[in-house]
Chain A
Amino acid sequence: MTTTPTITPYRSTLEATGRDGFAQLLRAEWTKFRTVRRWVLGMVAAVLVTVLISLLGAAGNHVSNNGEPVPKAPDGTVVTDSFGFVHRTLTGNGSITARVRSLTGSGSDGALSWAKAGIMIKAGTKQGAGYVALMVTPGHGVRLQYDFTHDLAGPSAKVSTGSPRWLRLTRAGSAYTGYESADGTHWTEVGTVRPAAIPAAAQAGVFVTTPMREKVTRAFGSTSVVAGGASATGVLDHVDLTGDKGQWAIDRVGHGDLNQPDKPAGSVSGDTFTVNGTGDIAPDVSAPDVVGKTLGGVLLGLLVVIAVATLFITAEYRRDMMRTTLAASPRRGRVVAAKAVVIGAVTFLAGLVATCVSYPLALHSLRKNGFAPYAAHAQMAFTNGTVMRVVIGSALLLALAAVLALALGVVLRSSAGAITLVAVLVVLPQILSYVLPLTAGHWLLRLTPAAAFAIQQGTSPDAYPQVAHACLPEGGCYPLSPWSGLGVLGVYAAVALALAVWRLNRRDA
């Protein structure tokens, strides 16, 4: 009689630790990426295409301002500085007071909402010189502005002959304080500011100006902006400047009404001043956005990145590699996460190389093509916040688009479908926004992933709320601020990732 020997099945005594950790998964996915030659070459191609097209775009851009100097604020911002100015020298501490009696504009629709009449202390009559100004505007109340880019709101008073407005600006050392009053006896402080570089001997007086009339018209299926001449006339009385009691000088800073170039800037009778002006005192929002023009190639590099990122997942399905991947790592959500991290990181680094190479080369080309006055060295350096945002943000844009493509690749499992869907979502809204009416175009650029290209703008559309400006998509203007635009793409990528994890968990591979 024999007894069947009991067989003890072999059990491995090795611990499985470190095998299914996320770090292992990342390493596995990175190994997959780096060993497929087409994907690596694709990423290199994306970098080359980005650099090449950025350079071509920069080389095709020319600007000419007929050799006229470009006015710049003390901090280097390109500005518009043009107004009628009745002034005399103020040395040391002192104050100027005036009552704004009326502010009227040329044209049928009256003064523009950002027309300005008030008092000013300015370093000199040169365009771009530092200043502090307290003013009344028809649409935005009393404002205290200085050095072009700074704007403080006062009470929202309106000026008419029936209800004039008193303004007072005092200087004590480097501090300038604005006051306003309805009756000239009860004063309210608007604010105290410390502008840069106004010398002891400054010019103080009353000024009037108005921005150009911007007319947005649609014709032949596209929207265009026509800047029309506008001029404003202000009447100020009870003008009182402490200190120096010299003669009032009537000057025009910048240009006057282009239709009447010889018209005097104003007249003085007793303590009543009638001043006219045109052109505005503000950052020049229509100046060429040099930083924004340097990375045009990102759009084309993006298409290549989308293709590589999609293939990173769809190729696994086509070659049935997905079954091995999921057998090795049954927690499917983690597979998607690891793939997203790897493709996002690789794309970000490749994109950063592309933008860091493109930017200085394209900038050099743009400077040669006439953009030098708009590209001051300090503002174009890599250490400048805006430049850093554009260069790093463009790489982030590529990385987020790659994650979106990967996620849609999991959902659709088809390279053709996923690539086309992402390309259509990111690029087509921009083309449509050129031909659709402005409001519809703006919504398209707010709601679709195309909003992310806002990160490439040198100037944000809402950077200077004190300047009215039509934001045209064909002019490279995106309605959202840079980071919220990129956030829109981030939301799309996150939702697509969640959808991808859900689909992967529900379906057989």
Chain B
Amino acid sequence: MRRELHAEWTKLRTLPSTGRLLLAVAMLTVAVSALSAAAVSTRLCRSPAGCHEDTVKLGLSGVGLGQAAVVILGVLAMSGEYGTGTIRTTLAAMPRRSTLFAAKAAVVSGSAMAAGALGVLGSLLAARLILPGNGFTPAAGYPPISLADGPTLRAAAGSVLYLGLIALLSLGAATVLRDSAAAITVVLGLLYAFPVITQLVTDPDWHARMQRYAPMTAGLAIQATRNLGRLPIGPWPGLGVLAAYAGAALLAGGVLLRARDA
């Protein structure tokens, strides 16, 4: 396993796109989080406390855009090899395909989570600095964002895990489809189009059901720190839904990688 890990890490590290994508994960996450925090103010509500704003969730909204770069990273890690034919060399050098796949998954999700951690910490720092200026002060019932707070820590760590799972989902989809365009379209459709289509469905039962099973809305439930009772799905079960998607994609990818010729 160590050899495989080393080989995969070398491949990923030496691609020029990897550095740019990991930078994009962190930067996009922080930028959108900071902009969202700056856009919200207690002046829009009757009273500051009446806003019921989940400041932590608001401060982490950039994850919604940062994940797009993670999707590219996860998909290219596999489909890039098929596109250029490197996969044959890879499989000749490392014939144990399951080990190879596990090593790839570990390296890709690990780097996505490392960049994601930077983005999440930067986002929370930005929110902590920006929000008090918009009226979200301790006096109004919004304590400063701090990782010492249990739910905040859960939201932050969960967001990093979320990005790792997105990387795994993308890697699995790319292994099944072996094509970057198809894999990216499927994963982005699952993540982005699902919530918009959910919004079109007015039937309350179906609406709630779709919110529970959409990978993005369910997975991002991990960011909620207030009014957990009103969420369509709880934080950890929500992340579990995304993990189930990622697990299914990885399983299908692993089985097909073993079964098919490259």
- By beta carbon, the residue of chain A nearest B51 is A218
A-chain residues with CB within 8 Å of residue B17 when the two chains form the complex: 414
A53: Cβ under 8 A from any B Cβ: yes
**In the bound complex, do residue B39 and residue A436 qualify as a contact, i.e. CB atoms below 8 Å apart?**
yes
Residue of A nearest to B231 (CB): A220
The answer for the CA separation of A474 and B196 in the assembled complex, in Å, is: 9
Residue from B36, B54, B69, B201 whose CB has the most chain A CB atoms within 10 Å: B201
Q: Mark B156-193, 1 if CB is under 8 A from A, else 0.
A: 00000000000000000000000011101100110011
Q: For chain B, what secondary structure do more than half of its interface residues adopt (helix, strand, loop), or is it mixed?
A: helix
Residues of chain A contacted by B44 (CB below 8 angstroms): 218, 437-439
Given the contacts A300-B197, A423-B192, A435-B61, A415 and B202 also touching, CB distance less than 8 Å: no
Complex: A218 Cα to B91 Cα, angstroms: 55
B196 contacts A430, CB within 8 Å?
yes
Q: A474's closest neighbor in chain B, by CB? A: B199
Q: Looking across the interface, which residue of chain B has its beta carbon closest to that of A417?
A: B72
Measured as residues with beta carbon below 8 angstroms from the partner, the interface class of chain A is 35 or more
Q: Which of A59-67, A206-214, A266-274 contacts B (4 or more CB under 8 A)?
A: A59-67
B70 to chain A, nearest CB (A): 10
In the complex, A440→B35 CA distance in Å? 10
Nearest A residue to B226 by beta-carbon distance? A220
Give chain A residues whose Cβ lies under 8 Å from the Cβ of B72: 416-417, 420
Determine if A221 and B57 form an interchain contact, defined as CB atoms under 8 angstroms apart. Answer: yes
> B residues 134-156 with Cβ under 8 Å of A?
none
Interface size class of B (residues with CB under 8 A): 35 or more
* Binary flags per residue of B42-64, CB closer than 8 Å to A gives 1, else 0: 00111000111110011001001
Q: Which residue of B lies closest to A215 (CB)?
A: B46
Minimum CB distance partner of B194 in chain A: A300
Q: Is B65 on the interface with A (CB-CB < 8 A)?
A: yes
Q: B200 an interface residue at 8 Å Cβ cutoff?
A: yes
Q: Of the candidates A416, A420, A432, which one forms a contact with B64 in the assembled complex, judged by CB atoms under 8 Å apart? A: A432
Cross-interface CB contact of A62 among B188, B200, B202, cutoff 8 Å: B202
**Which chain A residues lie closer than 8 Å to B45 at the CB level?**
217-218
Task: Verify B40–A437 contact, CB threshold 8 A.
Answer: yes
Contact of A303 among B36, B58, B188, B206 (CB under 8 A): B188
Task: Say whether chain A's binding surface is mostly helix, strand, loop, or mixed.
Answer: helix
Of residues B45, B69, B193, B202, which shows the largest number of chain A Cβ atoms within 10 Å of its Cβ?
Answer: B193
A92 lies within 8 A of chain B by Cβ: no
Per-position binary interface string of chain A over residues 418-447, scored 1 when its CB falls under 8 Å from any chain B CB and 0 otherwise: 011001100110111011111110000000
CB neighbours of A318 from chain B (8 A)? 83
Stretch at the interface among A306-314, A337-345, A462-470: A306-314
Given A303-B193, A423-B188, A435-B61, A61–B200 Cβ distance below 8 Å?
yes
Given contacts A221-B54, A420-B184, A431-B195, 16 further A-B contacts (CB under 8 A): A53-B197, A61-B200, A62-B202, A217-B45, A218-B44, A220-B226, A296-B197, A307-B184, A415-B180, A416-B79, A416-B180, A416-B181, A423-B184, A434-B195, A436-B40, A440-B36
Chain A interface residues toward B at CB < 8 A: 53, 56-57, 60-63, 217-221, 293, 296, 299-300, 303-304, 306-307, 310-311, 314, 318, 414-417, 419-420, 423-424, 427-428, 430-432, 434-440, 474, 476
12 contacts between A and B (CB under 8 A): A60-B203, A218-B45, A219-B50, A220-B54, A221-B57, A318-B83, A416-B72, A419-B181, A420-B69, A428-B64, A434-B195, A476-B200
